[in-house]
Amino acid sequence: MAITPRLAAIFFSLLCCRSASSLRPPNLISNSSGGVITHLPGFQGPLPFHLQTGYVEVDEDNGVHLFYYFVRSEREDSPGDDPVVLWLTGGPGCSVLTGLAYEIGPLSFDLNGYVGGLPKLVYKQDSWTKWFDKYPQFFSSPLYIAGDSYSGMIVPTVTSEIARGKEEGSQPNLNLKGYLVGNPVTDFNFDGPSRIPFAHGMGLISDEIYETAGYMMSSMWANDASVRQALGIHKGTVPSWSRCNYDIPYTNDIPSAVKYHLDVTTKGYRSLVYNGDHDMVVPFIGTQAWIRSLNFSTVDEWRPWFVDGQVAGFTRSYSNNLTFATVKGGGHTAPEYMPRQCFAMFVRWVSGDPL
């Protein structure tokens, strides 16, 4: 019998951090409604899940705050030790609404039913927060750091820093268990050259116009005045929302995340690395190449994994608790294209079950 985990997810657009040894509990600032959101423009009726929004102060001297969504677990029974997933959106510079509405969150835009005006929201059955309950106790709940795309550079780095802080006895002592990265940007020496053989050996078919219309809805919805008020967005902080802001002053001082993967996995933390097998931005053959460079031994040979009796992808397990998986039919990023399969993959992995 499959074990369904309990989960709460925190979505951040961007994470700014110093060395884990100097981390202190953040100053959480709720919005004007106390942080709890019960209704959103575009969604009919009350939200069927617990949503909070607010700001985290990251630079007291300059008054810099990061906006976050917190989605509480939805299962009502066994509320004891719910794991927490901190989801970091990639880009760099992309909004956390990407993860909330297009990837693992409980909402999505109703493209089929759109007839003009404010886009409608629908409840997504394949949310990674489905079946979970209990507001987490941050310092004692099992913690997983997660993200996709450019967060492949950020997630292992942050996880490595938290692990180092734990070794040095820094406070708070977070209950770190591992990390997961999807379609992860890792090292251009692996990611870049893999695009040519991938494109040569794989044909990709998609309806670009249809997908573009879906992405336009997020901009229309997020820039609506009633939506910004409902979410508690501070006036004047973001004049106009866009899915990704490529003008942010981002310093590319980590050319490769491979050493951080090696550091964290060899310390006993679990890791899941997955790719959509139709992703040409970060092709899976490049991801396989840097995983091979770690020189880990194979524990479970290459095999298919299934959802509802159908092949959902292929997987291989390595020493040091590293699992790699492909998601059949998944693009960049996999949960946008194959949410049900990605949800099943995540549930099995976080429960400690084989894919």
Instruction: With both helix axes pointing from N to C terminus, report the angle between 258-265 and 151-167 in degrees, rounded to the nearest 10.
Output: 40
Q: Where are the beta strands (DSSP E) in the chain?
A: 8-12, 27-30, 36-37, 51-59, 64-71, 84-88, 107-109, 121-123, 143-148, 176-182, 270-276, 298-307, 310-318, 322-327
Whether 95 is a known active-site residue: answer no
DSSP 244: B
Bin 20: left if φ > 0, else alpha if -120 < ψ < 50, else beta: alpha
Query: Which residues make Cβ contacts (< 8 Å) with residue 202, sequence separation at least 6?
Result: 277, 278, 280
Whether 279 is a known active-site residue: answer yes
- Residue 57 phi/psi, 5-degree rounding, is -80, 120
**Is the bond preceding 92 in cis, omega lying within 30 degrees of 0?**
yes
**Is the bond preceding 53 in cis, omega lying within 30 degrees of 0?**
no
Rounded alpha-carbon distances, angstroms, from residue 342 to 29, 48, 85, 226, 331: 32, 22, 15, 32, 12
Q: To which residue do tokens 């734990």 refer?
A: 166
Secondary structure of residue 152 in the 3-state scheme: helix
DSSP 3: P
Q: Which helix (H) or strand (E) holds 158?
A: helix 151-167
Q: Which of 13, 82, 279, 317 is catalytic?
A: 279
Q: Taking the CA of residue 138 as centre, how many other CA atoms within 13 Å lie in the half-sphere pointing to its CB?
A: 10
Whether 149 is a known active-site residue: answer yes
Q: Which of 50, 65, 278, 332 is catalytic?
A: 332
Q: Which of 13, 127, 149, 194 is catalytic?
A: 149
Residues tagged active-site? 149, 279, 332
